[in-house]
Amino acid sequence: MATETELSLPPWAGLGQLANTRPVLVQDTREQVPLVFTRLRCVRGTIGTGDYSILGLLDAFSVEKKSIDDLVNCCTADRDRFARELCRLRGYKFKRLLILGSRAEIELQRYHSWVSPKAVLGSLAAWECRYDVPVVYASSPVEAARMVEGWAFYFSREYVRAANELLRAAQNDEPEGEQ
């Protein structure tokens, strides 16, 4: 089992080098305050939707990161633009809205805006349902980076497992259930 500092994917039948490979994160070039990753390598690149993805899985994995103040702005002035972003996220197999801060900070209105906490939390609940985008809170940038690394690792691992199944099925050359 991998420790918190050691991340490795399961071996890929017939391609042993993949077992020693880790996913590579992609940080969008427009990301203003990037997270610092310690367990996975990260490169800068253009991502169509979101702030973080995985090299080779850009169309399947996306994490949109928002500070509390950015989130509140998305509830007002940038609402239409952000709704389009969330709409694009619907097409991803794995997607998250990662909020850097806590729900309590929103409830206590610890942000720079006149918008009520009820309106912000109501928008989050509606977006989560309307766009099927889970909302997750991280108390610090370090915690947020660890969450993104974990999601990327386990998501990639599932892709490797699926590829292993495909390879095994092709090698057996028999439809499932007829063995």
The three-point CA angle 134-9-20 to 5° equals 140
**pLDDT of amino acid 2:** 45
pTM for the structure as a whole: 0.84
Q: Check if the beta carbon of residue 64 is closer than 8 Å to that of residue 50.
A: yes
Give the CATH fold of the 65-170 domain.
Answer: Rossmann fold (3.40.50)
Coil, strand or helix: which one is 27? strand
Q: How does 160-174 read in b/e, with b if 16+ C-beta sit within 10 Å? A: beeebeeeeeeeeee
Q: Is the pLDDT of residue 162 over 90?
A: no
Question: Under 8 Å CB-to-CB from 12, ≥6 apart: which residues?
Answer: 18, 19, 160, 163, 164, 167
pLDDT tens sequence across 21-43: 789 999 999 998 999 999 999 99
Q: Check if the beta carbon of residue 133 is closer than 8 Å to that of residue 90.
A: yes
Query: What percentage of residues in the chain have a pLDDT greater than 90?
Result: 72
d(CA 173, CA 169): 6
Hey, where are the domains in the chain? 65-170
Mean of per-residue pLDDT scores for the chain: 87
d(CA 141, CA 151): 15
pLDDT tens sequence across 146-155: 999 999 998 9
